[in-house]
Every structure is written in C-alpha cells, then in structure tokens.
Chains A and B, each alone.
Chain A
C-alpha cells in the first residue's frame, strides 16, 4: 500500500533562518507531488508541484523553493524565513490526472 511521510511535524524557527521540510512517498511510482501551505482559517494554497524528477512548477512568488532529487522525494526549502512563512505545510501525492490527493501528516512552522 502507498504511504506518505513528511517531517519534521513541528518546528519553531527565527526570522532569517533556513528551512528544510522533507516528504517521501512509498508504494507508488512516478507520483505527482505537491507542497501546500494552509494559513490559519484559510484554504489550501498550492506552492509547488512536480510531475517528475527535476520538474518543479511554482504557483506563487515567494522566498521558498522546492526540489525533487528522487522520484518519491520532495523537499521544501528556504534560505531566509519570513514571519509570513508561518503556517501548516502539507505534502501530497496523486497519480496521473486524478484529483484525489493523499496528504502527509503536515508540518507546523512557526517563525518568530
């Protein structure tokens, strides 16, 4: 069966510090991978999606970046965090053009 795991679950970072969130998927090949952010009381905002290794599409301009070094690994990074980067970050995967997303557990980031 397919599983998705992301970490860390919770982190508190100072403004200006770097960030790295990691996500891995097991049990499926060539998944579509996504990074979403959910601010308190707001909908899911798509940050990045990837249809294959090294193929990253960015949906919003920001100080975040994403990389897909392996088929089932997706990494969200920042060189310098801003206060506005605080939120709940979700990694997700899907197959083909199916809209059914399978989400990781989420990573709650607080930037102070």
Chain B
C-alpha cells in the first residue's frame, strides 16, 4: 500500500528553527509537495521537490532524498503566523497525489 508518515504535532519557539519530517512509500514517484494549511482554511502550495537535494525559498527550505523515501521542511526565523498544519504529499506513478495527515505546528512566544 501507499503511505505517507509525518509527525502529528510539533511545538517551536518564535524566532527559532523547526524541521518537519516526512517519509513515504508509494507506487512510483513523480515529485513531493509541501502545503501549508491554516486552521479553517484551504491548503496553499509551499514547495516542490523532484530531484534530491535542498530547495530554498526565503525562510522555508525543503529537502528530498529519493533513495531514503524522505523529505523535510525547514522553517527558519519562526513567526507566530507560521502556526499552521503542514501537509506532505507525493505524486505517484499515476500522477495522483498521496497525502499525509499533516503536522500541526504550534509556535510559542
């Protein structure tokens, strides 16, 4: 079966750095996505990785290792507005997105 695993909840301090991990087992691989979802709102796209390595976009970076079936989202200089759920999703060989349950990130002052 296909499976995406990520922690249910994480807590971090304003101004700090946090890393959210995602491991996956899917039928084929055509890219990995990270989305941000604030409570009660729709998800919004953050990043896309299809090759191994680190993709940096401002305070957010995403890393992929295809051989390990592993990705992480790194958030730097945390702000209170970063409190949200972060969803990991993998596109399988049929170009369908397989979603993780999301990681709820709580930022404390």
Contacts and interface: CB of A to CB of B under 8 A. Distances in A.
B44 A103 contact: yes
Interface stretch (A12-20, A42-50, A67-75): A42-50
B33 interface: yes
> DSSP class of A's interface residues: helix, strand, loop or mixed?
loop
Given A41-B101, A42-B101, A43-B87, A106 B42 contact: yes
A97 B96 CA distance: 9
B41 A100 contact: no
Contact of B99 (A41, A43, A100, A108): A43
A100 B48 contact: yes
A105 interface: yes
Interface of B: 4, 30-31, 33, 35, 40-45, 48, 87, 89, 91, 95-97, 99-102
17 contacts: A41-B101, A43-B4, A43-B99, A43-B101, A44-B99, A46-B96, A46-B97, A90-B42, A97-B95, A99-B30, A99-B97, A100-B33, A100-B48, A101-B35, A103-B42, A103-B43, A104-B42
